[in-house]
Structure 1
Amino acid sequence: MIRKLEYSVMDVFAEKPLEGNPLAVFHDARSLSGDEMQALARETNLAETTFVLPSDDAEDERINGVQVRIFTTEEELPFAGHPTLGTATWLYSNHPTLRGAESITLRLKVGPITVRFEPCREGEHGVRATMKQNDPVFGKTHDRSEVAAALGLQVGDLSAEHEPQTVSTGMAFCIVPLRSIEVLRQLQISQREASAWLVKSDAKFFYCVAPTGQAEGPQWRARMQFYGGEDPATGSAAGCCISWFVRHGLVQSEAPVVIEQGIEILRPSRITAQANLENGEVRYVHVSGRTIPVAIGSFFLP
């Protein structure tokens, strides 16, 4: 018997269709094995693909959340930002009992993550949503010269004021502050050198950031190159990044910051992030953005 598997494509952290980071959301993956999910993620060939595992108990989903699994083309992830916002927004628009809910919780490998929704202003596309990430765990600080070599940069290309540091709100990123946006624009990470450094570190990926110098608009620009490609928008990394900013005094506690990403690969993305500093501890990490549905389709598997 042939299984028909319906999916939607959502552009996440997008200001209009065909921007941001595309995500494939499979509506009901209960018939799929983990290996089949991984194969479908390779088939979609997007940065991430999610698989909703709905329950027949609507009250349980309302209280405890909807189970979701997240895959890249290479592996399953415990948490990722744009898949969380994108999948929750699809549920907000389509779930039979959660449609239009004020908030929806996803049950991910990392634990429950709650997403809240707000209506877009007149003339805006899609749905604006905010996720509360886990409180950050600050890992090791790293030698600038070693990180520069792993990124194919000179040590002078990195910020002289702050060392790279690993931060995790569910996924560990090495936050690398660069000297200027010009350095960021020219970034071409050698995956062999970067992977060799990362496998020995406490970080999963690099997240490189630089100030835009703009009085208006996004204050920071970021890039995240991985698996030989580049991510247009990385919500999990943005949560780590705002945590790092607040801890080191680059951003005030509770101040919203706009991070732009994907500019260099023609997928402009806009991420808003903020975090609180309470008694020396960074807490209440929130990451926001807009999600726009752009496509629907079906796969047919035996």
Structure 2
Amino acid sequence: MRFYHVDVFATEPMNGNGLTVVFPERELESKTLLKIAQELKQFETIFVYPQNTEGCFPVRIFTTEEELAFAGHPILGAGAVLHSLIDKSSSEKSIQIQLPEKNTEVRTEYIAPYYTVTMNQGIPQWIQKVGQYHYDEIAKSLSMLPTQLAQEFPIEVVSTGLPYLLVPIQKGIGEVKINHDQFEQFLSTWGAKFVYVFEIPTLECRTWDNSGMNEDVATGSAAGLLCAYLVRKGFAKPDQVINISQGKYIGRPSIIKGWVEKKNGHVNIQGNVVFFGTGEISI
């Protein structure tokens, strides 16, 4: 089966967030897809199946640990690869992606040597605000002092398919790290799957797998939620393009662009995608 290695949120190879886009030639068991993702060793791998009768491309997304119902940078990367395969002569395309729990649209534009891809994440769900009496233990779980938290901004769980605990801080994001043996269970207290820590003055962000061992370079799904959060709290305005920074502390600084549409409240994220390589998986 054919695969493509692309870098998302980048205009040059070996920058931004790496991704493998795999095109299975037949249905494969979930455990096989997971093993392929583990072999490829990217933060996430997306498997793209042939276009269905509804005009959508069904996809499945895996980390090296599990399948995800939704993720941002895999969808952007897949959009760029599909554009190149469907009709590279066309500078702009609209592509429908079918996720396990919802469909989403990506809009792609080819500006050699990279693609600019925009994804509509839909309307965010505001799952819950965390009570301030939990702030001390959240700070401790992230190796912070409670005084580092931005008290005027609430800690909140938001989702457009993958729920994140958004943790605003005033300073010291470079020192933040997960310091909790059961962090996934800890996050589930508030219905969150992952954490997204952001520094208010700089909009520098960080997130990890729940072991804290692997930091993500640039997280489109979480960045979109942050844009919605910033608009809701009056930090930004609807239709204003917000630049989210991530990846600085692992040597892959990336910029994720996002905005919230004034007319309908939909969250959009945008990033550039550049091709790095391609190959065949022989199983």
Fold similarity call, TM over 0.5: yes
Q: In the superposition, relative to structure 1, how do residues 178 and 231 fare at CA in structure 2: closer, same or farther (>3 Å)?
A: same
Identify the residue that residue 217 of structure 1 maps to in structure 2. Answer: none
Q: In the superposition, relative to structure 1, how do residues 258 and 44 fare at CA in structure 2: closer, same or farther (>3 Å)?
A: same
SS in 1 for 2:7: strand
Alpha-carbon distance in structure 1 between the residues aligned to 2:120 and 2:229: 16
Identify the residue that residue 298 of structure 1 maps to in structure 2. Answer: 280
Could you list the runs of 5+ residues in structure 1 that have no partner in the other structure?
214-219
After superposition, the C-alpha distances for 1:142-171 in whole angstroms (9 at most, x for unaligned) are 132232122121111110211110000111
1:186 counterpart (160, 172, 175): 175
SS in 1 for 2:207: strand
Identify the residue that residue 126 of structure 1 maps to in structure 2. Answer: 114
Identity %: 32
C-alpha RMSD over aligned residues: 2.0
The alignment covers a number of residue pairs equal to 278
Query: How do 1:227-266 residues align onto structure 2 when only pairs under 5 Å count?
Result: 227=211, 228-266=213-251
Instruction: Give the counterpart letter for 1:189 in structure 2.
Output: I
Alpha-carbon distance in structure 2 between the residues aligned to 1:291 and 1:191: 34
Q: Is 2:38 the counterpart of 1:47?
A: no
Instruction: Give the counterpart letter for 1:17 in structure 2.
Output: P
- CA offset at residue 97 of structure 1? 9.8
After superposition, the C-alpha distances for 1:64-117 in whole angstroms (9 at most, x for unaligned) are 311111111111111100001001110001136997552101101131110002
Alpha-carbon distance in structure 1 between the residues aligned to 2:234 and 2:13: 35
Identify the residue that residue 150 of structure 1 maps to in structure 2. Answer: 141
Q: Is 2:79 the counterpart of 1:94?
A: no
Identify the residue that residue 216 of structure 1 maps to in structure 2. Answer: none
Moved over 6 A (4+): 96-99
- CA offset at residue 46 of structure 1? 1.0
TM-score by length of structure 2 reads 0.92
Alpha-carbon distance in structure 1 between the residues aligned to 2:192 and 2:182: 14
Identify the residue that residue 268 of structure 2 maps to in structure 1. Answer: 286
Alpha-carbon distance in structure 2 between the residues aligned to 1:7 and 1:173: 29
- CA offset at residue 118 of structure 1? 2.4
- CA offset at residue 270 of structure 1? 1.2
Could you list the runs of 5+ residues in structure 2 that have no partner in the other structure?
none
SS in 2 for 1:230: coil
